[in-house]
């Protein structure tokens, strides 16, 4: 099994890794963005360098787009499908062999809906999406508030905390684990698994990282199989149990859906909450504004999503010849990176794009939740969690300060922090968490 996984790694990550590293050594900004340290810590200056070279970049394996209108159009265009795990540029014999290697279910392996085109995509997405309507999500408001209060109560008064491990990660993991019916005691297990599985979203990860991800996905597979079996015999009311009972998806598809919801449901929202904290602390005028006018929190969260998106990029495959005008022709079979972070910093769409401005009128038009048929199912839930968690944190600890530099995770697709030491300072007297600024009505609901 190990040898088969090694072949799969070589085709999916090993060869692209070699190519990207060679380009990186030559100073290529695209390669620096995908596999260099700067791409992880400050991708935005590299994005501007790549953007300056033209609307669509031609890379060794395909293309990359950074401008707002183009990225949005690609995501909404049926001439583009989801990317294949193994790039078409990999030599055919290796590619054909590697494609036959079946990996344990994971968010970027079919039948995960991320990796499916219509009509299969629609069949897999529909039953899951129906559990995430804005109305259904708004009903979770009280639970999100309770979870937030419990976490803040558990923080040491006048003490220190890691705002990622103790807070930003805990709010979304608690909510999604409950939605999927997992016992509270297993949350830490999922945090650990998530930590080693999410690197699979990147291009060119190391063999060691791939092995660790495979071990975790195999363990998750066993856990999920037992969980699904249990729900079949003892149905409950959580959304996953309803999905299992509906009979619309088979066991492999149910595992894939649970994987996507776990992966997409907490890592990303953890990054949203985590990215917001240093941004607001670094812009005290903006923080003062939302403190003075709490109805501005939803707008501030949209601006965080635009300015420092938790998912920096996605990718598509060109299905048929596409003429983008101005002499740009895309060839079928090639992949195209769609830079959500680049789109969000496009000055043609967002004037003065590198300024963090919680009053920005069109911030909500960011592409951080994608667009088109794969647009994020959990956007309302992520907004709900952030709009409760962030005001509650800043209200409970008015003197909150970072204690040194927070540490970024070493990933390029998902953009967030892994560790954020902070001095909490004196807690505010009131123990109640402020209610969401506009009742439980979320932006966009």
Q: How far is the CB of 29 from ligand HEM (least distance, A)?
A: 22
State yes or no: residue 299 binds ligand HEM (CB under 6 A).
no
State yes or no: residue 314 binds ligand HEM (CB under 6 A).
yes
State yes or no: residue 113 binds ligand HEM (CB under 6 A).
yes
> In which residue are the tokens 């190990």 written?
2
Q: How far is the CB of 145 from ligand HEM (least distance, A)?
A: 17
Q: Is the distance from CB of 274 to CB of 328 less than 8 angstroms?
A: no
Report which of 129, 111, 106, 136 is spatially closest to residue 121, judged by C-alpha positions.
111
Q: How far is the CB of 25 from ligand HEM (least distance, A)?
A: 30
Alpha carbon separation from 414 to 49, 80, 268, 306, 395 (Å, rounded) = 21, 22, 7, 14, 28
Report which of 226, 286, 282, 255 is spatially closest to residue 402, judged by C-alpha positions.
282
Residues from 166 through 205 that contact ligand HEM (CB under 6 A) = 176
Q: How far is the CB of 289 from ligand HEM (least distance, A)?
A: 22
Considering only the stretches 28-36, 294-302, 375-383, 431-439, report the one whose residues sit in contact with ligand HEM under the rule CB under 6 A. 375-383
Residue from the set 260, 390, 411, 422 that interacts with ligand HEM by CB under 6 A: 260
State yes or no: residue 381 binds ligand HEM (CB under 6 A).
yes
Q: How far is the CB of 345 from ligand HEM (least distance, A)?
A: 15
Q: Is the distance from CB of 106 to CB of 201 less than 8 angstroms?
A: no
Q: How far is the CB of 316 from ligand HEM (least distance, A)?
A: 8
Burial class for 280, CB neighbours closer than 10 Å (0-12, 13-18, 19+):
buried
What is the distance between the alpha carbons of residues 161 and 419, in angstroms, rounded to a whole number? 10
Residue from the set 342, 370, 406, 416 that interacts with ligand HEM by CB under 6 A: 370
Of the pair 176, 197, the CB lying nearest ligand HEM is at: 176
State yes or no: residue 443 binds ligand HEM (CB under 6 A).
no
Going across the sheet that includes 401-402, the strands are: 160-162, 421-423, 401-402
- State the binding string over 64-93 for ligand HEM (x if CB under 6 A, else -): -----------x------------------
Cα 335 to chain center, whole Å? 20
Q: Rule CB under 6 A: which residues touch ligand HEM?
A: 75, 113-114, 125, 176, 260-261, 264-265, 268-269, 272, 310-311, 314, 340, 368-370, 374, 376-378, 381-382
């Amino acid at each position: 099994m190990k040898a088969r996984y090694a072949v799969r790694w070589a085709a999916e990550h090993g060869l692209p890794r070699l190519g990207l590293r060679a380009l990186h050594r030559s100073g290529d900004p695209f390669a620096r963005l995908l596999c260099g340290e700067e791409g992880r810590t400050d991708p935005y200056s590299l994005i501007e360098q790549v953007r300056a070279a033209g609307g669509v970049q031609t890379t060794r394996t395909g293309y990359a787009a950074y401008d707002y209108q183009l990225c949005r159009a690609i995501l909404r265009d049926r001439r583009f499908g989801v990317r294949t795990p193994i790039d078409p540029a990999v030599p055919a014999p290796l590619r054909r062999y590697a494609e036959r290697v079946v990996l344990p279910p994971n968010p970027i392996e079919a039948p995960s809906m991320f990796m499916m085109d219509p009509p299969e995509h629609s069949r897999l997405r529909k039953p899951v999406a129906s559990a995430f309507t804005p109305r259904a999500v708004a009903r979770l408001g009280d639970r999100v508030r309770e979870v937030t209060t419990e976490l803040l109560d558990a923080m040491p008064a006048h003490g220190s905390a890691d705002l990622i491990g103790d807070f930003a990660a805990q709010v979304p993991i608690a909510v999604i684990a409950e939605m999927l019916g997992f016992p509270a005691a297993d949350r830490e297990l999922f945090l650990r698994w998530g930590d080693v599985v999410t690197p699979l979203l990147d291009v060119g990860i190391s063999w060691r990282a791939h092995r660790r991800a495979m071990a975790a996905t195999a363990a998750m597979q066993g856990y999920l199989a037992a969980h699904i079996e249990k729900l079949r015999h003892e149905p409950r009311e959580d959304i996953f149990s309803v999905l299992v009972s509906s009979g619309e998806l088979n066991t492999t598809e149910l595992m894939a859906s649970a994987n996507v919801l776990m992966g997409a449901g907490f890592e990303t929202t953890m990054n949203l909450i985590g990215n917001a904290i240093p941004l607001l602390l670094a812009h005290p005028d903006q923080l003062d504004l939302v403190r003075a006018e709490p109805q501005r929190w939803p707008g501030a969260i949209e601006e965080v999503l635009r300015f420092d998106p938790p998912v920096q990029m996605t990718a598509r495959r060109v299905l048929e010849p596409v003429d983008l005008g101005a002499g740009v022709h895309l060839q079928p079979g090639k992949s195209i990176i769609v830079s959500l972070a680049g789109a969000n910093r496009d000055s043609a769409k967002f004037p003065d794009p590198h300024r963090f401005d919680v009053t920005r009128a069109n911030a909500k038009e960011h592409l951080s939740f994608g667009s088109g048929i794969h647009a994020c199912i959990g956007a309302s839930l992520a907004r709900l969690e952030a709009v409760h968690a962030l005001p509650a944190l800043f209200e409970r600890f008015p003197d909150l300060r970072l204690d040194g530099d927070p540490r970024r995770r070493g990933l390029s697709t998902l953009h967030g922090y892994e560790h954020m030491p902070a001095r909490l300072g004196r807690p505010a007297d009131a123990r109640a968490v402020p209610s969401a600024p506009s009742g439980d009505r979320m932006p966009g609901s």
